[in-house]
Amino acid sequence: MTEHRLPALNPAATALGSISPLLGHTDYDDPSVFRPENMLRECRRQRVLPAGRVPRICILDPDADMVHLLRQMKEATQAAHWACYHTVLWQWTELKQDFGIVGGAVGGSFAVLVAEQLFASGCELLISIASAGRIATEMPPSDHILIDRALRDEGTSHHYLPPARFVAAAPGMLELADRAARALGLPLVRGATWTTDAPFRETAATIAARQAEGIVTVEMEAAGLLAFAEACDRPVVCLAHVTNEMGLAEGDFEKGANNGATASLNLALAIASAWQQAGTFSNPL
């Protein structure tokens, strides 16, 4: 009978890595063997999809409320060439500009998996607008948050950047989004978020600790997306729509008209317009 042995531990593993493999990476600058282009290629081959590029400006919509609105009001159509195994890309044209949107990519790992494929397929600006729970006690529900940094209480970001408590958004992207919102008179609060992989493990003690740190909201995607943006030099804007207080009272999760999709879409379009006017084709520093 063949004896199977586990590989020996790497003697160079850090002490943190011996506690958690998420903290033991040292190869952040090395290219990945598995590339998004490769998966796109195989999906296109297996599903016999035509070649094509996605729109330059794309939106991630985890709750898919904007997707529903766009299909009803803007006649958004499914992109026949989007070679992603896991999602549908919807396209529409507004103000002579093509846009793409993917709904339902909930959580950091899923959001970054889709983001990698979007940029490999021609995307040049990605805007994520996710629902979020309120952490700051003075923050009214229904506000939109421009996320300037994210607490990395998840796994995906640790595969893109070395260990750190927070990952920050690119200052240039924050300034651009701020300017776009002000120009349209759209309410936008800037602040920090807590990104978690485990929404049903948001305990009272942890929430209190996050409040003491000055964190505004809790969601599931921003840390991974911002880490990807920094590591890969991709322009990404992360926003959170404060829609709930963790379901503590009946009637929670109300977002307003069209489930908040109109306000979120207007904000995304304003940021996209500002990005185009700035002639920005990479992460502004």
pLDDT digit string, tens, across residues 9-40 = 455 555 666 778 888 888 999 999 999 999 99
What is the percentage of the chain residues whose pLDDT exceeds 70?
Answer: 87
State both tokens at 70: 């766009």
If we measure between CA atoms, which residue out of 229, 220, 36 comes closest to residue 118?
36
Instruction: Kindly list the structural domains of the chain, giving each domain's residue range(s) and its CATH number in brackets, ordered by start.
Output: 46-247+261-276 (3.40.50.1580)
Cβ–Cβ contacts within 10 Å for residue 212, how many?
A: 8
pLDDT digit string, tens, across residues 145-157 = 999 999 999 999 9
Residue 166 clears pLDDT 80, i.e. is over it = yes
